[in-house]
A and B are shown apart, each in its own frame.
Chain A
Amino acid sequence: MSVDRTTVEVIRGALVYAAEEMGIALKKSAYSPNIKERMDHSCALFDPKRRLIAQAEHIPVHLGSMAFAVREGLSAYKGTLGPGDMILLNDPYLSGTHLPDLTLIAPIYHVDHLIGYAANKAHHTDVGGKAPGSIAGDSTELYQEGIIIPPVKFVRGGAIDPELSWLIRSNVRTPDVQMGDLRAQIAANYTGIRRVLELTEKYGAYVLHTSMEEIMDYSERRMRAAISEMPSGVYEASDYMEDVPGWGFAELRVRVTVEGGGISFDYSGTCPQVEAPINAPLGVTIAGIYYTLITVTDPTIPVNDGCFRPVTLIIPEGTMTNPRRPAPVAGGNVETSQRNVDVLMKAFSKIVPGKVTAAGLGTMNNVSVGGIRPDGTPWTFYETIGGGSGGRYNSDGVDGVHVNMTNTMNTPIESIEAYLPMRFLSYGLLPDTGGAGEYRGGCGIERSWMLTAPRATLSILAERTKINPWGLEGGEPGALGEYVIVKRNGEILKLPSKCTVQMEEEDSLIVHTPGGGGFGDPKKRAPEKINRDISNGLVSVEAALRIYGIKIL
């Protein structure tokens, strides 16, 4: 028996809405600024076969990889999960992203019948390891990056397992914050469970599951239709990660084959895994592929398992995009994931030119800092900083924004200063950083602060300090990023893109993030746009003369 289309449509909306509601519950009851202010978390629902059925639009890198975590994380628990149980994991080789992302999965039972799963992933500010914030810039193996949690039954019959809780508390720097956030993650799953059970009561499990199949089939039909419109062929592209120990520059290479309504992605030729925290676990690489595919086809296609049925993946094991244990991975989802999208976009720029932008900043500019307060309590802070997005065939890139695999918010400066020993000096757009073009790239950001505690450990994990974000169709590349510590005595220390260093009181960190690449020939840029940029101080007169060749009257 089939279900009428209107019911399917109503159920689809209700499932997406349930996932959105999960996110609100998580954010509102969370403790760490990373979740409550920056919304570095994601929520989704899965069918009993562990296939993604609905997601809230949060952080792309989480969402694509959550399907991986749900599939892998539950394998060990086949048949042994009951109502009120929840599985916690962060092992990157099972959960798909780095250790700070804790994934919590709850089965949804209606009486004794498995209806599906609610899951969420949240980035915790600290999970132990060698540096505060657990995103050290210089790890050589996974064990340095924090506590590794295999899939464990963290919640049993509705109650947190006290022994697991102790174990985690003992391994992290700010246990109260982490436990508060875990409680919020539990609250989020309860919200998802409640909504799905309401739907089950209303329509019955049969109608619900039949609708889920139809929802996935519908997305598959639309994705196939979108792929069929692409010209068949084989398209290759490559780009590089920088400051990689043992390699210098490490290549990411992809070959995209479009044929007969299907599409394949082959990463053969990508650099072998490295002894630096920039290996991307398989879940992260897949997340980048899914993200790119959705953006270059049709963002209105409901995102679920069906979208990805036309996709074939060839990602050789032992490479930077599918490493073997125990390669370190902290920067995989934040940095390599961005380069992965750059490579994919470069390939798609040859397939669907009107749907791809020039390269955005291509890094999340991860800043982790922490130390001990005078009263002996530890503190940690983590943030990512946006920059310029790439120029587009019809409009300039956006200034000072996050692109592609992340969409976290900034933490308000007034919130940071109220709770942490940091005093901000600037937060603004950087002129002359957007790549010139008929449509210029977005401008990067300057963000700087001074340490007001005696000392702290700072980790930087970033990219695009050596290879500029590329332009398209004759557009010029965006500006490089830069990380500098100004010591109290005025001495200037230029930091490499990946490092862990000590700071002392009144040292200042100045971050300049990259701009986006330009799109099209700068000579074709409309004069009124150049003038507007000059008057707004986003392009200097000198740069305008040099690049755009205009005369100022």
Chain B
Amino acid sequence: MFRVSVDVGGTFTDLVALNEETGKVENIKVPSVPRNPERGVTDALEIFLRGHTPEDVKIVGHATTIATNALLGQVDLEIPKIALVTTRGFRDVVEIGRQRRSEVYNLFFQRPPMLVERKLRFEVDERVEHDGRILKALDEGQLENVLDEISGLGVSSVAFSFLNSYANASHEERAFAMAKAKNASLYLTASTRVSNEYREYERTSTAVVNAALMPIIHKYLSKLEEDLRKMGVEAPLYVMQSNGGLSMAMSVAEKPVTIVESGPAAGVIAAAWLGELAGARDIISFDMGGTTAKVGTVRGRIPEIVPEYEVAGHIHMGRLVKGSGYPVRFPFVDLAECSSGGGTIAWADEGGALRIGPTSAGAYPGPACYGRGGSKPTITDANLLLGRLNPGNLLSGGMPIYPQKGREALEDLGDKVAMGTEEVATAIIRIANSMMGKILRMVSVERGYDPRGYTLVAFGGAGPMHVCALAEELEVKRIIVPSNPGMFSALGLLTADMFHDYIHPVVKRVSLVDPIEIEAAFRMMEKEGKDTLTSEGVKLRSMSFIRQFDLRYLGQAYELTVKAPDRVDAESLAATIIDFHRRHTESYGYSAEGEPVELVNLRLRAVGAIPKPDLKETNCRGKPDKIGTRRIYFETDDLWAETSIYERGGSWNSEFTGPAVIEQYDATTVIYPGWCVETDEFGDMILERVER
């Protein structure tokens, strides 16, 4: 039986199939079809099925960027017409947002386009207080009229978000039920079903994003499931969520807001899994593709998570610009991202300074050296000029390369910034590395984690080319380059578990909470998680539950998430508070033991463990095949070195030291001087820093 996963990226759709009996992995790469992303999936699967029967497929895992692309306004993925119903007096909360402009010095700033137009935002009389008391009952007659009006407007999806509903959701639920009764074909979202925390703007925004995505994702996943059935594949379809866990396609269709960062999350999950195999507990994942570089951290085998994210927002200095996107409250695998991919364009600003990105030449026309009409120099062109890339072709001969075109583009840029051609190529690499160094620091040093104790896992087509320089910068001593770096995110889908996250707001001083009530609330969430996992076919023995508290000093607005006791009582609660003080000191340099601590939320993650792939050991050789030599520039040593080029494949039982270049179908690994490389039994390369 095969476990199959499909990762749909901007340029390629990658399929990885694991033969459960033999542990052998098959890789298939086909072009993505942006207008019909499900086509990429079925195209890849069709190739796979040439050698296998549909009954061989046991499960299908899937990562997709369709939600992000829709929110970014991709053609043919237009956001449908949706409506929002709010408490009277508050329909504009979602438009005003936090009343802030995203760029302080830009008088020509714009808000992101509204997902729900003002004329489609309706108000009804009702009011709940902050403690859940009902001040004014829901006026059902008004709601009835609003629903009538909506039904005549061609709206396909409706969100309900009432003030203080996090404290009492009964009005939202009633509105939801009335709408369902009226028109069963409408897509419906109650804000507390997608985010039951306080802060009206963020909760409403999450609900609106969900409502906007529902028709698109529902249609997409239904079509995909239908296509799979037509091909005879009856296996269940699971989709990667932004939190790094899989969920059944049809649960995701109800809560599409959970899969916005589906694709990037898969990479981090893959890195966590590989690290575990290699005995590395603490990992930094480094994924450098065509348009961006993305990094994340895994501590003690658990990927770092953030509770909120602004989707489709702008990135500035490696961070999302507040107010430039649509806030979504859902746990996201915490990624830092910068516009530094192979196709990222280098240019000169008005002051004659060299800049990199954010524009990318994308897959088309691509870097200048692809010879498809691109005239702007990219990071790939710089790497080619410095000898790191094969000047003949890429993709094992699948793509011809025109070094002269790349050189000309770099020469032009050099003229503008008064640099020689080699100098400008080196500068591009150094600036790109400094940008990536910054985001690597953000997820490590900035969080108080010393990168020197971490292992870097490098993947994506360009990751293994830059990783040594970055490791030098961060003083990381160990690097893993998986056997198929360009297919690694797809492999990650085979390694993920099923996740469901639950949250229960408390917002009470710890000294005033009743441990019995807290324990009961956790158990209630556990039951819900258990029921959901059971419905997805997970056996009880494969289930586990992770409990957490959101805590802060009374008066603060941002919480620290700490592990909660497996059984809450007075004693274990006290121990958790001591842990909180310690964490606060780690994060902010001080703690305030004398001050009251507030318990804001209980968090529960229900995990349905999925057996991890049992990979087959690869053929072992003495050494990889040497296929030639090239002159390559190493900026860390400021030298051009005649460097041996090897062809990757399988594992080998001797180690050797850089400089060296190892080429393969989907990536090129550059081993810098001072680095030693060997493989594990699965063919993953392990690079270690040696004394020079």
Contact = CB atoms under 8 A, between A and B. Distances in A.
Determine if chain A interacts with chain B: yes
Nearest to B198: A414
B109 A398 contact: yes
Which range contains the number of B residues in contact with the other chain?
35 or more
Contact of B99 (A13, A356, A400): A400
Given A9-B354, A417-B164, A536-B119, A412 B200 contact: yes
A14 B110 CA distance: 28
B588 A414 contact: no
Interface in B278-309: none
A356 B106 CA distance: 10
Given A25-B588, A31-B556, A222-B351, A57 B163 contact: no
A57 B105 contact: yes
Nearest to B91: A428
B89 A417 contact: no
Contacts of A21: 446
B130 A417 contact: yes
A17 interface: yes
A72 to B, nearest CB: 24
Interface stretch (B430-438, B452-460, B518-526): B430-438
Contacts of B199: 412, 414-415
Contact of B555 (A16, A176, A417, A424): A176
Interface string B84-99: 0000011111011011
A29 B585 CA distance: 11
B637 interface: no
Nearest to A397: B107
A402 B90 contact: no
Contacts of A36: 556-558
A29 B588 contact: yes
A28 interface: yes
Contacts of B98: 409-410
Contacts of A448: 89
B690 interface: no
Majority DSSP secondary structure for residues of B touching A: loop
Given A180-B553, A427-B89, A429-B92, A6 B431 contact: yes
Nearest to B127: A423
A386 to B, nearest CB: 4
B652 interface: no
A20 interface: yes
Contact of A10 (B90, B104, B317, B431): B431
A413 B99 contact: no
A427 B95 CA distance: 11
A193 to B, nearest CB: 10
A553 interface: no
Contacts of B317: 13, 16-17, 20
Contact of B100 (A191, A221, A409): A409
Nearest to B349: A300
A412 B198 contact: yes
Contacts of B105: 57, 60, 291, 294-295, 299, 303
A304 B129 CA distance: 47
A414 B109 contact: no
A536 B117 CA distance: 7
Contacts of B354: 5-6, 9
B304 to A, nearest CB: 16
A414 B164 contact: yes
B656 interface: no
B100 A37 contact: no
A445 interface: yes
Contacts of B431: 6, 9-10
Top 7 nearest A-B pairs (CB, nearest first) are A36-B557, A426-B89, A299-B105, A428-B92, A409-B98, A536-B118, A31-B555
29 contacts: A5-B353, A6-B426, A6-B430, A9-B353, A17-B317, A20-B319, A176-B555, A180-B556, A180-B592, A186-B589, A218-B351, A222-B351, A356-B107, A386-B96, A395-B110, A398-B101, A400-B96, A402-B101, A407-B100, A408-B99, A410-B99, A412-B198, A413-B200, A414-B199, A417-B129, A428-B89, A428-B90, A445-B96, A537-B118
Interface of A: 5-6, 9-10, 13-14, 16-17, 20-21, 25, 27-33, 36-37, 57-58, 60, 176-177, 180, 183-184, 186-187, 190-191, 198, 218, 221-222, 225, 291, 294-295, 298-301, 303, 355-357, 385-386, 389, 392, 394-395, 398-403, 407-410, 412-415, 417-418, 423-429, 445, 448, 535-538
Given A9-B353, A402-B100, A402-B101, 7 more contacts: A187-B588, A191-B589, A303-B105, A389-B101, A395-B108, A415-B199, A427-B93
Interface of B: 89-93, 95-96, 98-101, 103-111, 117-119, 129-130, 163-164, 166, 198-202, 317-319, 349-351, 353-354, 426-427, 430-431, 434-435, 438, 445-446, 507, 553, 555-558, 584, 587-590, 592, 595
